[in-house]
Structure 1
């Protein structure tokens, strides 16, 4: 199976890969997201370490059961050959209705077919007031073109 664009990445293809990942995660469909990864993909997400598509689906199912009304924006940080680094922010609320903005960085490594074989994510959560939310499009679904990316978004 191939997942274009393929490495080595150019700025244009790295940006495309980042937007494809953002759109997939904003679908909140664990099976869809998992298809972008190799069968034996290695993950670190915060303090969790796991391997493989089945574990990815399990993880994302748990994640989105906890993180309600999730909306994500990713931004290309750097790229080289078969690697991409991104920064991201996402907003969500818990069962009690408390809103959070999560800030993070990810490092991605791709196989020759364009599937991600390694993902490492460092993430911090900050409680916010509902009126401080920035990501307000209807969800689940991709970020609309008129909603700006992170750019110079303050932390």
Structure 2
């Protein structure tokens, strides 16, 4: 049972991270379209962002959390005494915060109040990569 739940957890977070990596890239293109007064392009990016967020990113996050909690429940005593797990949990909370910041950016684009440019979104897009690296190292290496 543990192996199946772990496989589903890995599939879920892969989908979640794919969207977390791609959405900031869409923000870069969207901000570029706005700077060029490309209303049709801006509308297209709003649709792409909304669909990515609602059809892939949010379900990926929810399923990652469900299967992650299930994994903990299957072997609660081991996780309870693992220091690396608590650090991972904090990083996952930060990742959920990043997820919601993406929604705030989408709302600003939709409302026409976005003031950030491509450079900001390029730097913003690095955050999930750094969190992924840390989370995977903690989960595989279990350094403490």
Give the TM-score taking structure 1 as reference length: 0.27
Give the TM-score taking structure 2 as reference length: 0.29
Higher relative contact order (CA 8 A, sep 6+): 2
Q: Which of the two has greater strand per residue?
A: 1
Q: Which of the two has greater helix per residue?
A: 2
